Amino acid sequence: MQADTAPRYTSYPTAPHFHAGVTSLTVKGWIAAIPQDERLSLYVHVPFCDRLCWFCACHTKQTNRYDPVATFIDALHCEIRTIGALVGKRAAVSSLHFGGGSPTMLRPGDLVALMSALRESFRFAADAAISVEIDPNDMDGARLDALAAIGMTRASLGVQDFDERVQKAINRDQSFEDTKAVIDGLRRRGVGSVNLDVLYGLPHQTCDSVATTIDKVLSLRPDRIALFGYAHVPWFKKHQTMIDEAALPGPAERLAQSGLAAERVIAAGYRVVGLDHFALPDDSLALADAAGRLRRNFQGYTDDSCETLVGLGPSSVSRFRQGYAQNVAATREYCRLVGAGDLAVARGIALSPEDRLRAWVIERLMCDFRFSTIEAVERFGQAARVVLAEASMIAQERNPMLVRDGVCFAVPRTQRPFVRVVAARFDTYLKAGTARHSAAV
């Protein structure tokens, strides 16, 4: 791993280390072990877009026809019934997230029917949070009504950048006016929380253009803002070769853009949450952070405390106490497997005791920029001594990225933008792996 790259650590071990040794049979056993009255999360992956944004690194494909989407929806209903029967009613769903791709590509009636199927197969808690990723260009009145009908509590809209030159370079036309109209429509329908995703490090972005976009975003007063660095991974997503690498900002410019954007958001009254999220002080994410309850999963930072997350749809990842499992990414193969009543598991990884220890350390660093030596020993016993010894060695380095702070090891404030690199020091899989990763800032 290069010093300026690192995994994003939405899981540990990370996805490149998943393998075919985890099968459908494995996952059925893990599902059977879900405790009675467990609270669990659901993630539904919609693997289609009606346009392909060149910056995107998600598992999705472009289609201008609805037929393949309709076929996928039929298969998704099969998977919902199969996994719902395995989970039963002993577990209550407290969080549901629709991601993609573009979930808002679904026709309004199909989205409402999908939500009905989920409620029929799973027991939902009365206070379940329902969030949906929205492409403003997909939206119309009927789709806004459908989102309200399914009980959506949080909308997440991708903004990326409002500069027309940047949008053209990433194939993402999206005006501020259209974005505002969607947010206004959501709020009129009672959606209580709005998150906006903004990117820095895109082609042709400058500090001035980022500042202009951030000011427009702040004028919309979203409850949360996610500020991500563009991950240029053309070896992983071939369509990113459409982006002119000569137009990409360098490391110093990326860092400057990130810092400038963060300063503006903080000055507007938002609380910093983890590495790249911001939230209004009364938002549940900010409250979780203040209380030391912040978590990290495949959607990024979250206040979701569930230990079990069940992924539905192609490429989706499930997290159980015993390990991770990922569905097959190819939509046709996914449809074949779940249509036959089977699970679509392609790979995963079972967690060892050491994996759980290192996952906890990495998550705490990513969320809190520190971890407690006392809590490490209380949770993991003498096994924690190995990691604490590693932390002590890092703290003794010249210009250390980790320092001893009372009973904790902490990332100094000046090093926090590089916390992914710090976390990577505790990742034993990186040394043996060959996976390439995105820029750490």
Residue stretches of the annotated binding site: 43, 49, 53, 55-57, 100, 133, 160, 172, 197, 231
Annotated binding site for [4Fe-4S] cluster: 49, 53, 56
Note if the bond before 406 is cis, omega within 30 degrees.
no
Q: Structure tokens of 181? A: 């109209």
Annotated binding site for S-adenosyl-L-methionine: 43, 55-57, 100, 133, 160, 172, 197, 231
Contact 114, 96 (CB under 8 A): no
Rounded Cα distance between 416 and 424, Å, is 13
Contact 365, 401 (CB under 8 A): no
Contact 230, 202 (CB under 8 A): yes
Strands (E), 48-136: 48-49, 61-62, 92-100, 123-134
Contact 274, 226 (CB under 8 A): no
Secondary structure class of 102 (helix, strand, coil)? coil
Q: Structure tokens of 101? A: 């791709």
Rounded Cα distance between 355 and 139, Å, is 42
Best CA proximity match to 298, nearest among 70, 12, 73, 26: 12
Secondary structure class of 357 (helix, strand, coil)? helix
